[in-house]
Structure 1
Amino acid sequence: MGRRRGGREESIEAEIDTGTARLEPVPGEPDSWILYVNAVPSSPITASDPQRLDFEYLDWMGRVIDASFPAGQALRAAHIGAAACALPRWLDARRPGSRQTAIDIDARLLELVREWFELPRAPALRLRPGDGAHEITTFRPASLDLVVRDAFAGDATPGTLAGDAFFGASAAALRPSGLLLANVADRPPHRALRAEIARLRAVFAHVALVADPGQVRGRRWGNVVAVASAGPIDTLGTAKALRRGPAVATVLSGAQLDRYLGIAD
């Protein structure tokens, strides 16, 4: 894990298929790292604690998962956008016996992630190179509990992962109680985010949004988590779980989400 000279961790930089990956040590924390992909922070990793999720949106995702499924239940999950597999590591430690597939467009990045980090081995976690828009169509209908979309080209979600075809394929692969969690990054006035939520609502019966209150008010750029399911989403349980977290977040659904989308007074 990293190179040491005189007891000091140093960053590692490597060429990957889509550009450059850089592994940067967290100052003062000898086993914590941030993976940057093409200069964009993509994954936090603490080698000694897989249940530590230092990015606030990852913490939110973890709390949504825990509020939505019985404690300890093993899940079948597909991750579109693998990076350093922070959430798959968390899920494997939190819910032993889970089976996961992490998909990334960059095959070389997946090789490096296996080399750099102690990731669960197949069948607990399979790493699959490929285009997530295609790969999601290869899962059997109603075979997944969880689809996590956390893939970017630069700081934007590729259009093929934010359209009707991808959301439809995700819905088909999910069980009735399954969840789609989508990491969305957008700037005020959040037109892309609103458009993506509207597309999700056209496919899924239930959609909610988890975000920092300042983002909801359109005051700043940042990551938000869209939650979608064929079945009801436990928004009250999710809100309680989020209140116990380190980063403030609010949950929008129903009429609140209508108002945010501008389709209700």
Structure 2
Amino acid sequence: MSKGHRARGGRRDVRFGMAELIRDLDRPDGWLLSVDGVAQSYVDLDDPTHLEFDYVRRIGDVIDCLPAGPLNTVHIGGGACTLPRYVAATRPGSRQLVLDPDEELIDLVRERLDLRSVPSLRVRIADGREGLATRNAESADLIVLDAFVSAEMASGMATVEFVRDVRRVLRPHGTYLVNVTDGPGWQFARRVVATVAEVFGSMLLLADPGVMRGRRFGNLVVAASGEALPEAELARRAASAVFPARLVTGAKLSDFYRGSKVITDAEELAAPTPPETAFS
């Protein structure tokens, strides 16, 4: 093990718990970041295009299918900054902003995981909702919401008021990507999708087939835009993946969230958490 590897691992108290960096023994410079035992991020410093978690790979697939060229991107929720590293590697020239309220965690990632080496990336220590409110209208091509406290999604960023602000910041062709976690029945996820549908005209879901059948807790990726999304290419990628995903669009998507109430700022809502101590 190199000196660099020895320096990167370890544990540290951060704002929302105990963070730990664990080396992946199967990859020379792969690292898992967890907080209170819950997996938050995985990065391969030798190959930032390697996306270990299935749901992150689905987000990467959507990004890959967007029109060619650099992207002005806002990431709400930072962790180890897996997706900012991916966008920097696959979309050279992209300008990116990460909004994350956990200063201690970001300092750990800067110190141990070479965050400063990512080109044209800025990190602002801020709540995602407050940070987004400061962005100019029609200034982003892509907004990614992957914000969790331990295993719980930040429900204040699931409301229709927040989604409307996302729409304000996105350019007309821009894309909104959301990582949602939920368990059998998908009561929370259905409401999140109904809320996004209230604001955006084009939308799709990507998820593991077992999760979609309500067999277990897991991740669901929501993609939304004011313009048509690349459904055909995403369907091909989902079907041919090592772990195939299910793509839901059109009438089946409408059936998924039909009757679900839009989430608003007026209610107090707790997002669901998994029965395990970690998810991927």
Do both proteins adopt the same fold according to a TM-score greater than 0.5, normalized to the shorter chain?
Answer: yes
* Corresponding residue number in structure 1 for 2:93: 97
- Displacement after TM superposition at 1:30 (Å): 2.9
Q: 18, 21, 40: which is aligned to 1:20?
A: 18
- Displacement after TM superposition at 1:51 (Å): 0.5
Structure 2: runs of 5 or more not aligned: 260-280
* Corresponding residue number in structure 2 for 1:61: 59
Q: 101, 107, 112: which is aligned to 2:103?
A: 107
1:195 aligns with 2:182: no
Structure 1: runs of 5 or more not aligned: 5-9
* Corresponding residue number in structure 2 for 1:146: 142
| Residues in 2 aligned to 1:218 and 1:59: alpha-carbon distance in whole angstroms | 21
| Residues in 2 aligned to 1:198 and 1:227: alpha-carbon distance in whole angstroms | 13
1:117 aligns with 2:106: no
Q: Which amino acid aligns with 1:105?
A: P
* Corresponding residue number in structure 2 for 1:239: 235
Q: 39, 42, 48: which is aligned to 2:37?
A: 39
CA gap of 1:252–1:28, structure 2 versus 1, over 3 A, is closer
| Residues in 2 aligned to 1:12 and 1:39: alpha-carbon distance in whole angstroms | 13
* Corresponding residue number in structure 2 for 1:7: none
- Displacement after TM superposition at 1:120 (Å): 5.0
- Displacement after TM superposition at 1:227 (Å): 0.6
Deviation by residue 1:20-44 (Cα, 9 ceiling, x = unmatched): 1100111233311100022210111
**Any conservation in 1 of the 2:16–2:150 contact (CA below 8 Å)?**
no
The alignment of Structure 1 onto Structure 2 pairs a total of residues equal to: 256
Describe the SS at the equivalent of 1:59: helix
1:74 aligns with 2:70: yes
| Residues in 1 aligned to 2:70 and 2:79: alpha-carbon distance in whole angstroms | 22
Alignment of 1:154-193 (within 5 A): 154-193=150-189
**Any conservation in 1 of the 2:100–2:127 contact (CA below 8 Å)?**
yes
Query: Normalising by the residue count of structure 2, what TM-score does the alignment of the two structures yield?
Result: 0.87
| Residues in 2 aligned to 1:255 and 1:121: alpha-carbon distance in whole angstroms | 44
- Displacement after TM superposition at 1:163 (Å): 0.6
- Displacement after TM superposition at 1:247 (Å): 2.3
**Any conservation in 1 of the 2:16–2:149 contact (CA below 8 Å)?**
no
1:260 aligns with 2:256: yes
Query: Which is further off, 77-86 or 148-157?
Result: 148-157
1:3 aligns with 2:6: yes
- Displacement after TM superposition at 1:122 (Å): 7.7
| Residues in 2 aligned to 1:156 and 1:28: alpha-carbon distance in whole angstroms | 29
* Corresponding residue number in structure 1 for 2:221: 225
| Residues in 2 aligned to 1:222 and 1:188: alpha-carbon distance in whole angstroms | 9
1:126 aligns with 2:122: yes
CA gap of 1:11–1:122, structure 2 versus 1, over 3 A, is closer
Deviation by residue 1:64-121 (Cα, 9 ceiling, x = unmatched): 1111222xx1000000000000010011000100000011110111111111112355
| Residues in 2 aligned to 1:153 and 1:19: alpha-carbon distance in whole angstroms | 9
Deviation by residue 1:128-164 (Cα, 9 ceiling, x = unmatched): 1110011111111111011000011222212211111
CA gap of 1:66–1:123, structure 2 versus 1, over 3 A, is closer
Describe the SS at the equivalent of 2:32: strand
CA gap of 1:28–1:159, structure 2 versus 1, over 3 A, is closer
| Residues in 2 aligned to 1:253 and 1:130: alpha-carbon distance in whole angstroms | 34
* Corresponding residue number in structure 1 for 2:264: none
| Residues in 2 aligned to 1:28 and 1:143: alpha-carbon distance in whole angstroms | 40
**Any conservation in 1 of the 2:110–2:116 contact (CA below 8 Å)?**
no
Describe the SS at the equivalent of 2:195: helix
| Residues in 1 aligned to 2:66 and 2:81: alpha-carbon distance in whole angstroms | 21
Query: Normalising by the residue count of structure 1, what TM-score does the alignment of the two structures yield?
Result: 0.92
**Any conservation in 2 of the 1:59–1:245 contact (CA below 8 Å)?**
no
| Residues in 2 aligned to 1:90 and 1:28: alpha-carbon distance in whole angstroms | 20
